[in-house]
């Protein structure tokens, strides 16, 4: 890192993070990201309980409700109903 410090001195943390993320994306494939996602999910599941998941679900639901209107919920409800109906028809 020291040898690049001169070149990166004008870059803020956001720019450095973006460049690092782009470099990582170039050097790794889908399997890499699936594996680190799986490991992260397992680690989170081991270190958090049911209350944690309820809380993040509630917060996510509230954020979604603030940023979407009635049409959004009608549309996803229709999609879910159609998917369920198609699933039941295939059994």
Q: If pLDDT is split at 50, 70 and 90, which confidence band does 1 have?
A: very low
Residue 2 has pLDDT above 90, yes or no: no
Residue 10 confidence (pLDDT): 82
Measured CA distances, 4 to 1, 19, 74, 81, 82 (Å): 5, 13, 52, 55, 55
* Model confidence pLDDT, tens digit, residues 8-55: 578 899 999 999 999 999 999 999 999 999 999 999 999 999 999 999
CA atoms of 54 and 60, how far apart (whole Å): 10
**Torsion region of 69: left, alpha or beta (phi above 0 gives left; psi -120 to 50 gives alpha):** beta
């Amino acid at each position: 890192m020291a040898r690049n410090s001169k070149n990166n001195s004008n870059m803020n943390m956001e720019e450095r993070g973006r460049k690092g993320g782009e470099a990582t994306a170039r050097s790794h494939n889908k399997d890499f990201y699936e594996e680190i996602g799986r490991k992260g999910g397992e680690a989170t599941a081991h270190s958090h309980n049911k209350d944690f998941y309820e809380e993040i679900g509630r917060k996510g639901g509230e954020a979604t409700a603030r940023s979407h209107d009635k049409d959004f919920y009608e549309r996803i409800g229709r999609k879910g109903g159609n998917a369920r109906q198609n699933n039941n028809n295939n059994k």
